[in-house]
Structure formats: structure tokens, C-alpha cells
Amino acid sequence: MWLIPGFASAYFLFRRRLKSAGRYGQIAAVGRRVTAGVSALVYRLPRRAARFAFTRPVRKSFLPKGVPVRLTFTSPSKALSKTLGALARIAHSARLPLKSPTVATWLYFAAFLLVVTLIVGGATRLTQSGLSITSWKPISGVVPPQDLPAWQAEFENYKHIPQFKQINPHMTLGQFQAIYWWEWGHRILARLLGLVYLGGFLFLLWAREIPKRVIWRCGMLGVLVLVQGGVGWLMVASGLHGRLFVAPEMLMLHLFVALSLLIVTVWTGAEAGDGAPRGRGAPVSWRLGAGVMLGLIVGQCLLGALVAGNQAGLVYNTWPDMDGQFLPRIDWSNGALAFVHDQTLVQFVHRMNAYLVFAYAWGFAVVFGAKCQDTGLKAHAVTLAGLVTVQAALGVMTLITAVDFHLALLHQFVAITLVIVATAFLWRVARADRVFRKMGF
């Protein structure tokens, strides 16, 4: 039912604009189909409710004179395909704006929410709460247990998994509730994200607010959110049988999709807010250099996920050596899988790649600083290198404190910040053709 006030406010907000666009009746019909389609599909309302929603007459006073509106009953699947067709027609319309601060704000807000979700996800992992909810109920899971029997039933489900039996056999119901709330909060934020991405996309497309050149990217973000929901569940499922924690490679995949979502969101937000036609851009070498920087940082984050997933921060808590050695003995009995599952090797690789990222970031900042004449861009490159330094120091502190909760969370937060700053840097370099033309390229 909450969809109705949502669409009603959207309706009034854009009525004037739509009227002036002269397509009011058509668009109102599309909106009605979306509402009915979504309610029928998501909530599985009986057909009668769908029929009511489709055939309700449009109040004449809402429509500009002379606009013919014909609404006929159709099945939810037909309504969906018609709605998609209508949205596709809007997407191909010539009257879309070149840039849109509204779309940029929407995407930056989504990115902010994504960062919050990532941090809560980090806290969920660090408090070992991730396996407390053993089922996947995208709709009904919104409501947490309401009374003592419901809590006990949830606790019983948790008692069946190896993590309870081997690590937490003495856990009380109160302790279980504490870990449950972390996971529940993470999942609620994820649902909110889905709503913001998908709902925002459909609404802004319907309102003809999304610039043409970013439409497919905005749509792709909606798809990625859904994919991430599925990956999240597969990750949880990987820890319910035969393991004490989730599979490290699934944690890495979950982080990878989240970071991809973040990168595309920030990039698309910048594109939507800047309507200038794409120019020649910086020379390929600079774009490549900034791209490699982003790639190295994302790669380092994924290696961090392997460290976290293998609880490899709890061993070799010394730096720069690893318990007095450069590289302790590695168990190669499972072959190349050691790169994913061996605590020693994953920690070693995360350390070594950190040095590489550090050297690259500073090398790039120095060379770029010497050649680039734009002080803003120069400052951006130096900030990136500075942040890498802070992050490396935080990593060392996280390690020598054997994963102190606050330090580890800060290490994750700065990693996410780094990804955002590196994405923004790459975007600016790709867009900064005027700056580079001044330099004689």
C-alpha cells in the first residue's frame, strides 16, 4: 500500500512538467500500469486487485483537455511488457535533458547509502553475525521476530549450523539477538538500496529526467543490485553447511559486486551532473595510468576480503616481518587453492600488493604532479597517494592488534573512500581534455 502515496506524490510533483510535455495522459497510464504490475507481481495480489487497478477510470479533472486515455484490463505479464515497452519509448525520446542535477543527487544519495550498507556489512562480519539468519525471505524477512517463541524458533535454526555447534555452543538467546540485529540491519539496508536504485530509476525515467547517455547505465545499476542480493544469499548459504564461516571466495565476490556498484554509481552520477559532450579526454597514457590505479586499489580490497574471509588477520601479528620470517611455510597440498584458502599466503599477498599500490600511487602522483598544470587535478592525485598511505598504516595497525574491531572497521571505511576517490580521479582525467590540451598533448 505504501506504493500509492509514493506514486501520488510523484504524480503531483511532476504534473506540471508532464502537462507541458503534452504526453500527460500517456504517461499517467504508464504510471498506473507500473503500480498495478508491481503490486500484482511483488505482492501476488489476487487477479481481482490487479483488474481493479488496471480498469479504475482516470479522473477527468486530472487530464488536460482532449487527451484520449484508454485503459484496458490486461494480465500482469502483459502489463509488465507494455510498461517496459512504454519506458523504452521514453528512453528513446528526443526530449530528454542533456544533464540532470536531480539524477546526480539521486545517484550520490544511492552511493552514500551503499557506503553505509558496506560499513554495516563490515561490522556484521567483524561481530561474526553474518550467519545468524539462516533463511532468505526477501519480502517477509523485513519483519524481525515479534515474540519470544518466534525468537526461540530463529535461535533453533541457528543452533543447527556448524558455527553454533563448534564456536558458540554456550551462546544465550540474548547474545543471539545481538548478532541477529547486525545481520537484519544489513539486510534491511540492502532492501532499501534496491528500492532506491530500482524505484528511483523507474520514477526518473518515467519523469523523463534521466539524460539519454546514462539511461542504460542507470538500468544496469538496478540489475546489479538484484544480482548483489542473490550473491549475498549464496555467500550466507556457503557458510551454513560444512564450514564455520562463509567461503572466503564468496565474501570476495560479494565485495566485488558492491565495489562495482559503487564505481558505476559514482561515475554515472558525475556523468549525469555534467552535460558537456564528451571531448577527446586526456591522452591514453594518463587515462590508462589512472585506470590502473583504480584497478590496483580494487584488487587490493578483494585481497583484503580473502584475508578477512580466512581470519588471516589473527595470525602473524607482526610487521614488517611475519613472525620473524619474510614468508613462512605455505601449505600447497590443495595446489593453487592456497591463494584463496591458505592464511599465510593470503596475508602475504595482501601485504605485498599493498607495497605495490603504495609505490604506484606515489610514483604516479610525482610524475603527474610534474607534468599536469591543473592544480585541482594535481591535488587529487596527491590526496589519493596520501589516502593510500593512511590506509596502509591502518592495515598494519589492524594486523598488529589482531583485528581490533574499530581499527578493522576504519580500515574498511578508508578502503571504500579510496575506491570513490580513485573513481572520481579517473573520471576527471578522462574528462579533462581542456587541461591536457593546454599541456600541448
| Contacts with ligand HEM, residue ranges (CB under 6 A) | 122, 125-126, 251, 255, 297, 300-301, 304-305, 307-308, 313, 319, 350-351, 354, 357, 388, 391-392, 395-396, 398-399, 403, 408, 411-412, 415, 418
Smallest distance, ligand HEM to C-beta of residue 305, A = 4
Nearer to ligand HEM, 319 or 441 (CB): 319
Query: Residue 248: what are its φ and ψ, rounded to 5°?
Result: -55, -40
> Minimum CB separation from ligand HEM for residue 300, in Å?
4
Alpha-carbon gap, residue 123 to 196, rounded angstroms: 23
Of 229 and 313, CB closest to ligand HEM = 313
Cβ atoms of residues 164 and 158 within 8 Å: yes
At 124, give phi and psi (nearest 5°).
-60, -45
**Minimum CB distance to ligand HEM smaller for 210 or for 354:** 354
Whether residue 337 contacts residue 295, with contact meaning beta carbons closer than 8 Å, is answered with no
Q: Tell me the closest approach of the beta carbon of residue 104 to ligand HEM, in angstroms.
A: 26
**Residue 364: CB minimum distance to ligand HEM, A:** 13
| Min separation Cβ 306 and ligand HEM, Å | 8
Smallest gap from residue 296 Cβ to ligand HEM (A): 8
User: What phi and psi values does residue 61 have, to the nearest 5 degrees?
Assistant: -60, -20
C-beta closer to ligand HEM: residue 74 or 310? 310
Rounded distance, CA 43 to CA 9, Å?
A: 21
Query: Residue 36 CB, nearest distance to ligand HEM (Å)?
Result: 41
Distance of closest approach, residue 7 Cβ to ligand HEM, in angstroms: 38
SS (H, E, C) the chain: CCHHHHHHHHHHHHHHHHHHHCCHHHHHHHHHHHHHHHHHHHCCCCHHHHHHHHHCCCCHHHCCCCCCCCCCCCCHHHHHHHHHHHHHHHHCCCCCCCCCHHHHHHHHHHHHHHHHHHHHHHHHHHCCCCCCCCCCCCCHHHCCCCCHHHHHHHHHHHHCCHHHHHCCCCCCHHHHHHHHHHHHHHHHHHHHHHHHHHHHHHHHHHCCCCCHHHHHHHHHHHHHHHHHHHHHHHHHHHCCCCCCCCCHHHHHHHHHHHHHHHHHHHHHHHHHHCCCCCCCCCCHHHHHHHHHHHHHHHHHHHHHHHHHHCCHHHCCCCCCCECCECCCCCCCCCHHHHHHHCHHHHHHHHHHHHHHHHHHHHHHHHHHHHHCCCHHHHHHHHHHHHHHHHHHHHHHHHHHCCCCHHHHHHHHHHHHHHHHHHHHHHHHHHHCHHHHHHCCC
Q: Which is nearer to ligand HEM, 245 or 436 (CB)?
A: 245
Give the nearest distance from C-beta 233 to ligand HEM in angstroms.
17
Specify the residue, 157 or 311, whose C-beta has the smaller distance to ligand HEM: 311
- The residue among 29 and 322 lying less far from ligand HEM, judged by its C-beta, is 322
Q: For the CB of residue 387, give the shortest distance to ligand HEM in the complex, in Å.
A: 9
Nearer to ligand HEM, 50 or 322 (CB): 322
Q: Using the minimum distance from each CB to ligand HEM, give the nearer residue, 210 or 297.
A: 297
Asked if 29 and 69 touch (Cβ cutoff 8 Å), the reply is yes
- CB 327 → ligand HEM: shortest distance, Å? 14
Looking at beta carbons only, is 83 or 412 nearer to ligand HEM? 412
Neighbours of 209 (CB within 10 A): 19
Nearer to ligand HEM, 21 or 382 (CB): 382
Question: Do residues 336 and 403 touch, judged by C-beta distance below 8 A?
Answer: no
Give me the least distance between CB of 288 and ligand HEM, in Å please: 20
Is 374 or 404 the residue whose CB approaches ligand HEM more closely? 404
